[in-house]
Chains A and B, each alone.
Chain A
Amino acid sequence: MSQTGNILVIGAGIAGMKASLMLAGASSKVYLVEKLPIIGGKVIKNEESFPNLECSTCMVAPIQQDVLQNPNIETLTYSVVEKIEGSAGDFSVVIRKRARYISLTDCIGCGMCYEPCPVSLKNEWEENLIDRKAIYVPCSGSLPNVPVIDSEHCLRIGGGEDCSLCAEACAFEAINLDDSDEIIEVNVGAVILATGSATFDLSSIPDLGYGTLPGVYAPMEFERLFASNGPTLGEITLRDSEKIPESVAIIHCVGRREQKYCSAVCCMYSFKFARFLKHKIPSVRVFNIYSDICVPGKSYQSFYRSVEGADTEMLYTSSIGDVSVSESGSGLKVSYPDAAVSPQSLNVDMVILAAALVADPDVAQLAEVAGVDLDPQGFIKTVLDGSGSMETSREGVFVAGTAEGPKDIQNSVVQAESAAGQVAEIMTSQASSS
C-alpha cells in the first residue's frame, strides 16, 4: 500500500482552517478545498462573536492569512471534491477547480473590473440584501481578495455576447475570459470533512411570515445588516422602507420542534442581536420571545444576564412553536401564548427568527463522494458517538465543526483540533510502520 503524508481538508471555515494549519505545522502537505471563492466560512459573516463580542474579522483574518501564506497548504478555492477512492492511507482524490476567470497570482484586488460590468445580480453571500456584478468579490475584506466571474450570468461566458469590459478595465491582464475548469488529482492519506452547516428553512413555517413579510429577518440577514462591511455599511434599516426599526421581536427556537434538537447557539446570538440593536439604536425596544434559555458552559449565562432587562425585555411563551407573525398596519404583529397559555400579541417593526442550525443541503452529496454515513438529523455521523473521536464510518475520513452537528465556535475548534490529532496519530503510525 502506498502511503502518503498528504491530507485533504474540505471546507475552509474556522474548523477546516484550524485543522489545516495544525497539520501543515506538523509538516503534512494539506489540500484545503473550499467551494466558495473565498475562505473564512460563516464566522466572517458575523461582525462580532459572542460571548465577548469580539471582532470576528480581527479574530479570523490572521488565521486566513496564515492559511494563504503557509507553504504546506495548497488552498483550492471555488473548488469541489468529486471523488475520493481508495482506503485510509491511500486515497485518490479528484478535485474540480472551477474556472474563476481571474488569476490568483496576477490580480491584486484593486476592484477596477466591477464597475464596467453591465450585469446586476443579488449577492447571495450578503443574503441577497444587496446587488453584485457578474464579476465580484462576495464582500469587502474577502480573502483571497480576488474576484470571480459568475459564468452563468456573465454576458460573454454565459450569454455568448461580445462583452469584455472587465478584462479591458484590468490593468494587470489578470482576467482570462477563456478560463476553464481544471481537474486536479491528488493522493492523500486522510480526509477531514469540515463543510459546516446551514440555517433552517424558515419559509417552511408560513405562520412566521418569512419571505412574505419584508420585516421578518433570518439571523444571517441581521448579521449582515449589522456588519460595517455589509450591505448597509452597518446601518440597521428595514428592507422595504429604509426606516430604522423602533421595536424588534426576536423569536427563539425556530425549527427546534421540526428538527427535534436544540442548536445551542441561538439563545446566545439572539442576546447578541439585542445588544447590537441597543448599541446602534438606543431608543429601540427589543423583545426576546422564548420558552427555554439554553446558555451552556461557563461563559454564556453572564452575557445573558447582562443583556436581560438592559437590552431586551424577556417574554416567556408556554409554546414557542405556536408563535406567529402577521401584518398589522405598516408593521408586524407577533402572537404568542403566555405563561398562563392566554393569547398575547405585540406590535413591532422588525422580527428576527432565531433559526436552528441544520445540515448543509450539499452534505448528502458530499457524504456520497466521501463514502460516509449521515446521522438521523442529516449531519455527518461519527462512529464512536460521544467519545470525542471524529472518525466517520469510513476509516481515514474524519469530520469537524458544524458538519457533525450544531455547535458554537469553541466546540468547532475543539473538534478540529481533535480531528487533526487523530490524523497526526495515524500519519505517525504509518510513518513508523513503513
Chain B
Amino acid sequence: MKEFEMQESGQDRKLRAKVGVYICECGPNIAGKVDLDRIITDISELDDYQDVELVVKKYGFLCSAPGKEYLEEEINSNGFTHLVIGACSPRDHDSTFMGVCKKTDLNPYLYRIINIREHCSWVIDDKEKATVKAESYIRGGIARVLRQSELFEKPLDINPDVLIIGGGVAGMEAALSLSSDDRRVFLVEKTDRLGGVSIDLSGILPGQGEVIGKKIESVLGNGNIRVFLNTRVENVIGFLGNFEIELLSEENTEITEIMSGAIVVAAGGTLFDPRESDRYSYSGSDEVYTSLSIEKMFAGDDGAVLRSGKQPSSVALIHCVGREEKNYCSGICCSYMMKLACFFKKQSADIQVTEFYRDICLPKKNDQERFSEAQAAGVALIRIKDISLKGTNVSFERISGDKDKQSFDMVVLAPALEPSADTEYFADLLTVPLDEFGFFQEVHKMTNPVGTATDGVFIVGAAHGPKGVSDSMQFARASAGQILTRLIPGEKLIPEVAVTEISEAYCTGCGNCLEVCVYGAIYSDDSRGISVVNEAVCRGCGNCFGSCPSGALRTKHFTNTQLYREVDEALR
C-alpha cells in the first residue's frame, strides 16, 4: 500500500495497485436482478489500467457478521491497496464497510461503496439493463477509488472550560450546570451585577426573588466559576475545543486573556420600544408603563402606583404590543399579563382591571391556571381586533367589529421581546448568523436549536428567541448537555477528515470562499494575499469549492478529478 502514491493533477501514471472489488448479492435483492457472474467476468478482464490488479468476487451478505469477517480477511490476505464494494445505499452501510477497513491496514478513504441495489436492482425490472448499469457504476467506482487519497484522523486536544457571555438567569444556569473540579467556567457580564432581567420579575416562579438570589449566591460562591463583571468580550478566535478569548474590563481597561473549549451566548433580550409605533402614544413619562417597569414596582415595597403615589382605580393591560411590527408572538406576555392583573386585584380588589388581548397564548401546561385565576379575580377580558391609545384613553375595536372607548388611570403595555442591542456585535465576533428577526440563528430549528454554525458556540435564553425565565433555563441546560457530552476532560476531538484545502499557487485572494463559508472556517491571510482553511473548523460541505473562480480549492475525498473520473468511466 505504501508504494502507491496518488498524484492528483497529473496524467495517468503507472499505478501499482491491487483493487478488491466485492459485490454483495444481498440475497436475491441484487443477485436476483443483476447478472453478477457476468459483471465479475467483465470487470476481471478489464485491461484499462496498467499495473492495476483487480480481484473481483461476490458474497451473500457482506454486511452480516460473517460477511464483515470475510471482507476483513480478504483485505488482509490480499493486501489490497483499494477496495470497491458493490452493494446498497451508502446511507445503509457506508459506515459498516469503513469500519471493516479501519480494522485492517487499508486506509478507509481508499474504499468506495457503489449503490447497485437502490440505483439498479430495485428500480430496473429488465435484468440486462440492470446488469449493464450496475457494471458501469462499478467501473466508475474503480476509476474513482484509484484517484482517492489516504486521509487520516487528527485527534485534537481539547480545553473543557467554558466561556459564558451574559450573567442573567440563562447564563447562571449554564454556569452552574457546567462547572466542576475539572471544568472551569468564565462568566462574563457587561453590567455590575448578576441576575439580568430576571431580578426585576416578581412571581414568575414560586419564590422567584429568593430563587434568583440563591442562584447568584451559588454562582459567586462556586470556586470553579470565575465571574467578570463590567466586562465585555473583546475578541474571540478558535473553534470547538480551543477558543482564545480577550476580555476587556471597564474598570482597569486591561485585557484578560482566557482559553475555553466552548462558548455559551446568553446575552439576553430586550423589550420592543412602544415608541416605534404611534398607536400607543408611549412617552415613558405619563401613566402608560411597560410591563417590566410594573414588574419592578410590584417587586418593591409600594406596589404599582401612579406617579403621584396614589393607587390607580382603573388599569388597562394591553397585550401584543409590537407583535405585528415584529411579526412574531413572544409566547410569554399573556401569561405574565394575567399574573399582573391578579397582582393589581390583590393589591386592591377595588381596582378595575381590564385586559385587551388579540389571542390568548398560554403554551405551557400550567399557564391556563393564570387565565382561570384572572377570571376568578374579576378581571375584565376584552378581545380586540384593533387598539390605539391617547395617553390613558383607549380606543378599540371589539372582535365583533363594535368600536368603543374607555379611559383608565393607568395603562400597562406588554411589549414584544426582541434581540438585545449587543446581538449584532456578538454575531460578528463569533461568526454566527442572525435570523430574519435579528436573533441568533440556530443550526437547525428542530434537531439542534442551541447549536450554531460555529461549532462550539451555543445560544441560549432570549438571545435565541423570545422566551421566559423557565425556557431560558431549559435552553441553558440544553447547551450544558451538549458541552458535557462532547467536551470531555482528557478526551480528544476528531474533526472532519474530508476537508477543503486551498492551493496557495492558484488562490488570488478574492475572498469569494470567505463569503460562502457558513462555518467561518476560511480566513484571509493578508500577508500572503490568499485565503486559508482552518481544517479544525471546516466540515467539507463544498460550498466554497463552487465559488472559487480560479480552481484553487479542493475538497478532499470529493475532488474534481475523482468525480470526473467516476462519471467518465461510468458513462463510457
Q: Could you show 26 A-B contacts with beta carbons less than 8 Å apart?
A: A14-B447, A26-B484, A27-B491, A59-B446, A59-B447, A63-B447, A105-B65, A108-B61, A110-B28, A110-B29, A260-B368, A264-B363, A292-B359, A292-B361, A293-B359, A295-B329, A295-B361, A299-B445, A299-B465, A302-B328, A302-B436, A388-B173, A410-B445, A418-B474, A424-B484, A425-B480
Q: Is the CB of B478 within 8 A of A294?
A: no
A340 touching B400 in the complex, CB below 8 Å, given contacts A410-B446, A421-B480: yes
Interface residue total, chain A, C-beta cutoff 8 A: 73
B144 within 8 A of A: no
Binding site for A on B (CB under 8 A): 26-29, 61, 64-65, 91-92, 95-96, 173, 177, 180-182, 205, 211, 323, 327-332, 358-369, 372, 398-401, 435-437, 439, 444-450, 465-467, 469-486, 488, 491
CA distance A69 to B98 in the complex (A): 12
Q: Is the CB of B365 within 8 A of A377?
A: yes
Q: Is the CB of A420 within 8 A of B473?
A: no
Q: Is the CB of B484 within 8 A of A387?
A: no
Q: Is the CB of A23 within 8 A of B328?
A: no
A294 touching B362 in the complex, CB below 8 Å, given contacts A69-B96, A262-B367, A413-B447: yes
Please give the distance in Å from A296's CB to the nearest CB on chain B: 3
Q: Is the CB of B488 within 8 A of A300?
A: no
CA distance A270 to B285 in the complex (A): 43
B173 contacts which chain A residues (CB < 8 A)? 387-388
B323 contacts which chain A residues (CB < 8 A)? 301
Q: From B362, which residue of chain A is reached at the shortest CB distance?
A: A262
Closest 9 CB pairs of A and B: A296-B331, A421-B481, A388-B473, A264-B363, A417-B478, A418-B477, A298-B465, A417-B481, A388-B474
CA distance A417 to B360 in the complex (A): 29
Q: Which of A26, A296, A318, A414 has the most chain B CB atoms inside 10 A of its CB?
A: A296
B467 contacts which chain A residues (CB < 8 A)? 297
Q: Which of A298, A385, A390, A409 has the most chain B CB atoms inside 10 A of its CB?
A: A298
CA distance A27 to B484 in the complex (A): 12
A428 within 8 A of B: yes
Binding site for B on A (CB under 8 A): 14, 18, 22-23, 25-27, 49, 51-52, 54, 59, 61-63, 65, 69, 105-106, 108, 110, 171-172, 260-262, 264, 292-302, 305, 316, 318, 339-340, 375, 377, 379, 385-390, 405-406, 408-411, 413-422, 424-425, 428-429, 432
Q: Is the CB of B329 within 8 A of A418?
A: no
Q: From A298, which residue of chain B is reached at the shortest CB distance?
A: B465
Q: From B444, which residue of chain A is reached at the shortest CB distance?
A: A59
B478 contacts which chain A residues (CB < 8 A)? 413-415, 417-418, 421
Add 19 more A-B contacts to A25-B486, A294-B359, A405-B365 (CB < 8 A). Answer: A14-B446, A22-B482, A59-B447, A69-B96, A261-B368, A292-B360, A297-B331, A298-B439, A298-B465, A301-B323, A316-B399, A339-B398, A385-B366, A386-B469, A405-B364, A410-B446, A414-B449, A417-B479, A422-B477
A69 contacts which chain B residues (CB < 8 A)? 95-96
Q: Is the CB of A420 within 8 A of B95?
A: no
A390 contacts which chain B residues (CB < 8 A)? 477
CA distance A432 to B183 in the complex (A): 12
Q: Is the CB of A432 within 8 A of B181?
A: yes
CA distance A25 to B28 in the complex (A): 36
Q: Is the CB of B482 within 8 A of A105?
A: no
Please give the distance in Å from A285's CB to the nearest CB on chain B: 23
* Residue from the list A260, A411, A418 in contact with B481, Cβ < 8 A: A418
A429 contacts which chain B residues (CB < 8 A)? 180
Please give the distance in Å from B381's CB to the nearest CB on chain A: 11
CA distance A429 to B180 in the complex (A): 8
Q: Is the CB of A421 within 8 A of B177?
A: yes
A52 contacts which chain B residues (CB < 8 A)? 445
CA distance A259 to B180 in the complex (A): 42
